[in-house]
Amino acid sequence: MQYAQVLINLPFDKKYTYSFSTDMRPEKGDRVIVPFGKKNRKGIIINVQKELPDGVDAEKIKNIEKLYPEYFRLTEFQFEIARRIWRYYLSSYSQALFTVAGAFKPVRIKKKKLTSNPYTPFLLNKEQESCVREFNESDNNIFLLHGVTGSGKTEVYFELISQVLKNKKQILFLLPEISLTPQLLKRFCDRFGEDICVFNSSLSNGERNYAFKAFKDGKVRILLGTRSAVFLPAQDLGLIIIDEEHENTFKQQDTPCYDARMIANWRVELEEVRLVMGSATPRMESFYKARRNIIKLLSLEKRADNRKMPEVNTVTMGETDKVSKNISRRLYNSINESLQRREQVLIFINRRGYSSFVMCQACNEVIRCINCNISLNYHKKLDRLLCHYCGYTKRLPEACGECGEPELKLIGSGTEKLEDELSKLFPEKNIFRVDKDTSSKKDFYFDFFEKMKQRKIDILIGTQMIGKGFDFPYVTLSSVLCADFILDFPDFRSAERTMQLLIQVAGRSGRGIEGKVIIQSYAPDHYAVESAVRHSYQYFYEKEIESRKIMRFPPFISLVRLILRAKDKRNLFSSSREIVRILKESLPAKDILGPAEAPISYIKGRHRFNILLKLSSNRKKYYKVIRNILENNYKGVDIKIDVDPVDMF
């Protein structure tokens, strides 16, 4: 008789023992479906043995229900990555292992068809060439490619990729969002033919399985994927590229809160791989490492093809003349100029929906979500109020719930409101909106790119997603309507995030034809705004790094955030105090921040508290205390651990 010890995807690490039918040959690393409690669950075999393990009742043992095909068997490499996640990100080992293994269903593989129109590659310019040369000559295996927007980072990537292909090795290319895939995939196919595969959550189960197997077997040499693709095993990996490395989407928000950029670093240690991270606005952490030669800096300081950087102007809101609620006279005139030349305009606004809150005219009461401590947003298209944190929705009430006043004001503008404003100002122009509400439709991005390319869109408005690395040559004006909104966030990275947004949005303008940028701001003198005006990332970096040093924030220390959640606020408060008391017993008080109410103190019916730990040295000491706390049981309180958090919400 043989027994398989199986881990189930649970927040604790207990091995369960199963038997199996004689025609099955399961081995360590095999993925299985097993009966567990009332229903079947996914499992991973961590051991197969002849003896029944101690303390297991032979009567209770059930048979493995289903064995995944052999190509899904986890490799030693995958086990090692899981071990590192478990240790570094403080999750359970089984959560780490399941994260590395990925979500697959044992269905028939299905190949996705691709088409390509091959062309002769362009010659690199001097700067691009010297990046490639420095890459080849460096002893370092990790690189930061810092290139201004429009400097042709992709051309450098392509040259590095073609070198790796000549050596018959594989390439893993990560990008922050699915929405960037279609545009880039086309460029990849045209350059490298059909030796390429996509891996992200838009694939069907069969297509995912094909991509997994093909890359693992070395049948496909280039893989283009999002965050979770960083775990894909390869036959012979030569290069990992992380494009737009500053994007927070590389960090997973639920347990284990891993960072794909960290996993890629680990792969450099484990495999014979080099890593290139590219951005016009790198994370402070990355640039700091580059400055200290821990990683090698490659720079592109000019736009490709002698194209000029767009001229950036600021408009001081509150002092300036406006043509409508969100549009200054200056911006209006510039939009007109671009449109008269039949060019395109791109406008960024931070919120979706119509208005961000509804306030009573008489008593100033704001309508809030019943599950969250946050105002409800009004969506005109739905004609309903909507919570952006939990999805709660209700009709706009006839009158104020507090005082009965029938007049309610809509305050704070979103994409829908801006769409309204612009269609009144430019009634005969085509205005197109991109946000979470419009982009959920299938093939949305495909249609959107086609329309942009064929200039069927005159004014493009959108949230975060329009600032992310798109290349639209006819955009000659880009604008941020309110540059300051992030600056008010209670987060030490708010200035960095503002700088990144402004430089990225500015970077969408003037990529084909000379263009300009207008930033509307209440604080145009802030160094984050100033850095965008000067097109100088370094200007920002020098100022920000000083403040990080003085304030003891990354990159000078590491952070671990404990997020405590509970239904009962009193209980949460006393548990938080108790946890901080335990922390203070073995850690210096200056390294413990909190407990503090989270910026959004109540989400989905749970109150939230944050405790922030600053780890300067001796990581082990801190981890030991945290592990101890996780082993205690604070009833009714859920503790989530976020190592190297990218936000504080």
Q: Which residues are annotated as a binding site for Zn(2+)?
A: 360, 363, 369, 372, 387, 390, 400, 403
Choosing among Zn ion, DNA, none, which partner's interface includes residue 647 (Cβ < 5 to 8 Å by kind)? none
Task: Give the CA diameter of the chain.
Answer: 84
Q: Taking Cα atoms as reference points, which of 102, 152, 101, 98 lies closest to residue 130? A: 152
Candidates 35-43, 384-392, 443-451, 591-599: pick the segment binding Zn ion (CB under 5 A).
384-392
Pick one of 85, 240, 387, 626: the residue that binds Zn ion (CB under 5 A). Answer: 387
Residue closer to DNA by CB (options 68, 188) is 68
Neighbours of 549 (CB within 10 A): 12
Q: Decide if 374 contacts 389 (C-beta within 8 A).
A: yes
Report how far residue 314's alpha carbon sits from residue 222's, in angstroms, rounded to the nearest whole number: 42
Q: Report the site for DNA in 480-539 (rule: CB under 7 A).
A: none
Q: Decide if 448 contacts 441 (C-beta within 8 A).
A: no
Handedness of CA 518, 523, 529, 530 (dihedral sign): positive
Name the DSSP letter for residue 368: B
Residue closer to Zn ion by CB (options 125, 371) is 371
Which tokens is 336 given? 């007109």
Candidates 11-19, 321-329, 489-497, 617-625: pick the segment binding DNA (CB under 7 A).
11-19
Q: Taking Cα atoms as reference points, which of 31, 186, 167, 2 lies closest to residue 94? A: 31
Candidates 143-151, 383-391, 541-549, 613-621: pick the segment binding Zn ion (CB under 5 A).
383-391
Size of the site for Zn ion (CB under 5 A): 15
Residue closer to DNA by CB (options 277, 566) is 566
Residue closer to DNA by CB (options 18, 88) is 18
Q: List Cβ<8 Å contacts ≥24 apart for 333-342.
A: 334/477, 334/479, 334/516, 334/518, 335/425, 335/426, 335/459, 335/477, 337/477, 338/476, 338/477, 338/515, 339/426, 339/429, 339/458, 339/459, 341/476, 342/455
Candidates 57-65, 264-272, 273-281, 359-367: pick the segment binding DNA (CB under 7 A).
57-65
365 binds Zn ion (CB under 5 A): yes
Look-up of token digits 């600021």: 314
265 binds Zn ion (CB under 5 A): no
Choosing among Zn ion, DNA, none, which partner's interface includes residue 403 (Cβ < 5 to 8 Å by kind)? Zn ion
Candidates 28-36, 116-124, 140-148, 467-475: pick the segment binding DNA (CB under 7 A).
28-36
Residue closer to DNA by CB (options 93, 556) is 93
DSSP three-state, residue 275: strand
Residue closer to DNA by CB (options 92, 154) is 92
Pick one of 23, 39, 115, 318: the residue that binds DNA (CB under 7 A). Answer: 39
Q: Considering the complex, what minimum distance in angstroms separates the CB of residue 642 from DNA? A: 15
Interface mask (CB under 7 A) for DNA, residues 609-638, using x and -? --------------------------xx--
**Burial 608-642, CB ≥16 within 10 A → b, else e:** bbbbbbbbeeeeeebbebbeebbeeebeebebbbb
46 binds Zn ion (CB under 5 A): no
Interface mask (CB under 7 A) for DNA, residues 545-584, using x and -? ----------------------x-----------------
17 binds DNA (CB under 7 A): yes
The rounded Cα 224 to chain-centroid distance in angstroms is: 16
37 binds DNA (CB under 7 A): yes
Report how far residue 35's alpha carbon sits from residue 38's, in angstroms, rounded to the nearest whole number: 7
Q: Decide if 355 contacts 378 (C-beta within 8 A).
A: yes
Pick one of 272, 402, 447, 488: the residue that binds Zn ion (CB under 5 A). Answer: 402
Pick one of 24, 33, 48, 56: the residue that binds DNA (CB under 7 A). Answer: 56
Residue closer to Zn ion by CB (options 365, 420) is 365
18 binds DNA (CB under 7 A): yes
Q: Decide if 284 contacts 290 (C-beta within 8 A).
A: no
Spatial CB neighbours of 234, under 8 Å, sequence gap ≥ 6: 170, 172, 215, 216, 218, 223, 271
CA angle 488, 489, 494 (to 5 degrees): 95
Q: Decide if 426 contacts 339 (C-beta within 8 A).
A: yes
> Rule CB under 7 A: which residues touch DNA?
10-12, 14-18, 34-39, 55-57, 60-62, 567, 635-636
> Rule CB under 5 A: which residues touch Zn ion?
360, 362-363, 365, 369, 371-372, 387, 389-390, 392, 400, 402-403, 405
